Structure 1
Amino acid sequence: MTSRMVLVVDDDDSVREITQLSLEAVAGWQVRAAGSGSRALEMLRERRPEVVLLDVMMPGMDGPTTFRAMQADPELRDVPVVLLTAKVRMGSVQPWDDLGVAGVIAKPFDPMSLAHEVSALVGWDAAG
């Protein structure tokens, strides 16, 4: 697989660690991690990743607010964002439906298939 640069944004330390270990060990991707939406925006401006995995529910600046801030910045608006959430309700309207994110992955996710799920959502081929 090609090495990808990913930013993982989640206020839960254990979720960040599992996500980072999964993507680094299984896919060989480079992973940076942020514990808040505001820190994520700082990190995005320092070094732009190829995709952002963004938790929906975080204190302070939540995922949708962080995504909207990215969309307002011409340098960041085309970075694909995949939301991570434990609040998926089947068959109902979701609060992120109109955001324009690349996709949503439900927590808990399978660490062994996470890279494949992300790749499929952002349109990377299986080798990438």
Structure 2
Amino acid sequence: MNDLRTIVLVEDDPDIAVLAQLALREIGGIEVTHYGSGPALLADQAAMVPDLYLLDFRLPEMTGEELLAKLRERPQSAAIPAIFMTASLMPDRIKALKVAGAMDVIAKPFDPLTLAEDIRARYRAAQP
């Protein structure tokens, strides 16, 4: 089973991005690369290929769901699991995100003390 070592975080809110990065790096020991928008990630030709994408649902320029669709079109990122973060946990939205290819959905606000382990547990559960 692969361990979760690297995450690409796409989050436009600077406060949430800093908090998530601190929680994942300092508490979880996970390497995090942050982008403020989907187009910023897609334009970065040197973007690392992570173990997991952690995507905000509401992003400027394109939604997280649209970003995931674009990532799925690329051979290097087509099979990389993705988890969404959103404050809107309506059952229909969660179902739509999973149908679109999301591994799971995490509620905002999240607990920074447990974020890394929560993501790791979801990642492990999805491993074959």
1:113 is matched with 114
Q: CA deviation at 1:45?
A: 5.0
SS in 1 for 2:99: coil
CA contact under 8 A between 2:5 and 2:30: conserved in structure 1? yes
User: How well do the aligned residues superpose, as a CA RMSD in angstroms?
Assistant: 1.9
CA 1:5–1:44 in 2, change beyond 3 Å: closer, same or farther? farther
SS in 2 for 1:20: helix
1:93 is matched with 92
SS in 1 for 2:120: helix
CA contact under 8 A between 1:3 and 1:30: conserved in structure 2? no
Q: CA deviation at 1:41?
A: 2.2
TM-score normalised over the length of structure 1: 0.87
1:49 is matched with 50
Unaligned residue ranges in structure 1 (runs of 5+): none
**Aligned partners of 1:66, 1:84: CA distance in 2, in Å?**
13
Larger fraction in helix: 2
CA 1:23–1:44 in 2, change beyond 3 Å: closer, same or farther? farther
Unaligned residue ranges in structure 2 (runs of 5+): none
Q: CA deviation at 1:3?
A: 7.0
State, as a whole percentage, how many aligned pairs show the same letter: 30
TM-score normalised over the length of structure 2: 0.87
Q: CA deviation at 1:42?
A: 3.3
**Aligned partners of 1:113, 1:105: CA distance in 2, in Å?**
12
